[in-house]
Structure 1
Amino acid sequence: MFPPLLHKKHFLLDIETSGLNKHIDYIVCIGVTFLNETDELTHHQWMLQLPEEEKEILSCFLEFTQRFSHVYTYGGKHFDWPFLLARCAFHQLNPSMLQSLHLIDMKKSLQHFGATRINLEDALGVIRHSTTSGKALVKVYRTYQACGETIYKTIILAHNKDELSALLSFYELYQTLYHLKHFHFIDTLKSSVSLDFSAKVPYLFTTNFQGCYKNITLCWESGTQILGIKVAFSYLKLKQYLTPYKDYYYIPSQGQLLHRTLAHFVASSDKRKATKEECTIYKEDDYIPLYTTYKLDIPIWYDSVNSPYLRVNDFSASILAAQVFYLLFSNKKTS
């Protein structure tokens, strides 16, 4: 089970660079957040003043990574990680320690709750102490490189620390959603528009959060252990397919289906084999849309374009956890 704050084998990573080209630009600062030997949350930053120092801070970083199994980033799959590997190659440093780490880019899963990184930070109540943007940081570094004044170094380190603090909040959100199926659901209530679940998590939240994706809204408050999830539903008339449809006959004159075990009571001229679309029953009820039907042995209902639904009375916490996991962590695309 994921512990509060951070797993001992996980660290958070954010880098600052002199530009966007990993072949001609270089790393200015490498920042990490992790739990030290006494389980204290620790931020560490390696920063250079001159480009010639890049190999040294990369070597220190590579040594640091040896005791970890996972590295968490936001957008790092397409920027931080390729940049680090390219700079290691430039300095002929062995990248095997980096390549042995399991890289988790949280952006793919969490961007559903914030169109931009700032939107996501706002949803989690992240407070930044530095007002410098990443783009402006390049100019700040060039000024620091030219004059060596400590104030410019402080600005760069403060920005990087803000990035790491935001990553820690993202990590809490990511891990809470990823481990949803392991939590103890303590209550389920049905309102007029939603099924409301409450779950107790094995740690105190450090953030406030409210976010919505598809028909699922999640929320919690800092200092509590209660996760709230609302699943919206709609009153619909949907169809259910009778299977296997080859076991059914259709009587056109009566618009009636007949199972093959009873078909011998009806003359051949009055019946024919039913099609798949004819082998349906319809029911008006409260329904929740499904995003995966994997391993569901409960009757599934379909709308006019064959999107799957479940009756609210058949929906459970375990099904909810499976739907959230599929939506956020599978490689499947959802519309």
Structure 2
Amino acid sequence: MTLTLTEREKKSIAALIQQHCDPYLSRFPFARYPIEPLEYWKQAFTKPATVQASTLKQAISWHFGSWQRNSLSPAQRSVCIHIIKSWPDFVQNESFDPTRVLQFWHTQLPDWQHGFQAAAFLLHLMHPDTFEITDHHRNQAMIEILQASEIGEDNRTITNSVQDLEDYSSFFNSIVPKLPYGEVNRIKLDRFLKAYGNRHAYKHIAATYTTSEPTIRQFSWDDCAAQSFDLEKITLRANADVLFACLLHLLDKQPQGSKKLTIEQIVDQLPLGTAGICNEASYNYALIALFGNQKGRDYFQFENATLQQVFTEQANQSTRDMKLYLKYANESVTINTKYLKA
């Protein structure tokens, strides 16, 4: 029997989530779980037989928190490899009934603990209107919230079955309309449950550690524009140049415009994940190149005239201090007047 909640229980749980939501989301790894690829995958998985191995790898890596990273654990990598190898057999099925889907993957994946999480995500992509994104962390969060609210059985456990998916999806969809965040209710609830269920992973991380979601998550040179800045004078097209274009676009909407900024203020406006740059190494290198003169870049005028050369030298080295910008966080710069419109 699928989990059901009374109106009073729904409101009680929603109130509990609101109380804790923002603190947990202030540390959420946004760049590991960008929402933009999901809509593409949902469309692709309407026809499973046409899904390519590269798409499978990307989707499973995303679900395991390794988007644009080569950081899958051995167990996660094994699941990914087995799914890709077994996909041609899977798509031969006459029915993609959820129970049969899980039964198929249960026989193909040697590690069902990790395998169930991947299979559950595939079911979400194939049946997004029926199943929410779930995994061990989200299910555990649901169980603990129900227990904290004194709802349901105290001995509820995760069984890695269709029942888990149905219960979680029912729980999720019962709470969504009770939250006050409007059109981002679903996104915030999903992220909160993921973060809450995985909160123990942060116990050794400094309490001051925070993250922020980028204002600009996708980028196109054709669509990026500014009234006060001349983006056409940005002639290079690497990640550093994309970040500079994003910065000008953001500054164009702010009162300070082209006034003096610290390096820290600039970096804060361009968090990891800006313009879809979610790989930390690529992002850090782009920031170093952004402040340097490599390939003739001249985006900033520095109060400390020696700093541009420092960043340039780091950008040109094969081994570099990838967080160099943190050392000079309080140094001030202004946008090169070359990029101001007359």
Could you say which TM-score interval applies, normalised by the shorter chain?
under 0.3
Structure-2-length-normalised TM-score = 0.24
Whichever structure has more strand as a proportion of its residues is 1
**Which one has a bigger Cα radius of gyration?**
1
More helix by share: 2
Kindly indicate whether structure 1 or structure 2 has the higher relative contact order, using CA contacts under 8 Å at least 6 residues apart: 2
